[in-house]
Amino acid sequence: MERLGGFMAMCRGDTHNTKEDKSPALESKPPNKILWGSLTTVLILTFITITVIGILGFKPNNQKSFFQIVRISFQDQSGSLVNQSALVDKQRDVVTYYVTSQTNHTTAVLFDLQNGLLCYRPENQDTCFLRKMERDDLENVQTILNMSKHKVNEFWLQGNQTRYHTEFLGVLGRNQVEPLTLGKPFQTLCDHIPIFWVRKAQGPGKQRLIYLCIDICFPNNICVSVCFYYLPE
């Protein structure tokens, strides 16, 4: 019995010593998995940061390249200095004129070359007027596009070479246009206001009064005075 008890005590002692011997060995191993995991996370975050900076860095430049502002200065028939500006959207082939009258009212005139449409938005009128572009309209607005292609930002019209003429547009009060049938530039210009078709006419006659005129000048030395009146329903 004494021998058996001694043998069991030795076994317990060996087992205890074995456990103590293994613990230091486990603690001394380097944490390779944790180290590689941390390095991988850092690399992924660095890649995402560089990608985001690259996208944000290039996006504004791409957007700016699609637009250009052209300023046109001239003297009207009364000798007053007039400044007009045109915003050229090269991507959509859209030119938007901003014409300020002597009473400081600004009218926006939108030329959509892709769809062959022309729209007027007077500042002091809660209405837009729409018509189809004609050959003269295309030729006039094409001069603005040519200037933008050659990076010309300002142009001065020579008064002694400028030709003036007047156009009369009759408003078709019953022919209201659904904005969703038009492109995005028209919806933005005429947001939440009615749009009416207009057509060229010889003049209002004595029974109709002209209530609005807009003077628009183009780099080809042509100035057009556009006058509106309502046609009889």
pLDDT of res. 15: 47
pLDDT of res. 49: 58
Which residues, 6 or more positions from 140, have their beta carbon under 8 angstroms from its beta carbon? 218, 220, 222, 224
pLDDT of res. 42: 58
Structure tokens belonging to residue 218: 């183009």
- β-strands 195-201, 128-132 pairing: parallel
Structure tokens belonging to residue 40: 């991988």
| pLDDT tens by residue, the chain, 233 residues | 444 444 444 445 454 444 444 444 444 445 565 666 666 665 665 655 565 555 455 444 444 458 888 888 887 777 777 888 999 998 888 999 998 877 778 899 999 999 999 999 988 888 999 999 999 999 999 888 888 777 778 888 876 778 888 999 988 877 789 888 898 999 999 988 999 999 988 877 666 677 788 889 898 889 999 998 887 66
pLDDT of res. 164: 87
For residue 191, report the phi and psi dihedrals to the nearest 5 degrees.
Answer: -65, 120
**Distance of alpha carbon 109 from alpha carbon 224, whole angstroms:** 12
| Residue tagged 């030395």 (tokens) | 221
pLDDT of res. 97: 93
Helix, strand, or coil here: 134?
coil
CB-CB neighbours of 126 under 10 Å: 11
pLDDT of res. 229: 86
Q: Give Cα separations from 172 to 27, 180, 198, 208, 214 (angstroms).
A: 90, 19, 6, 14, 18
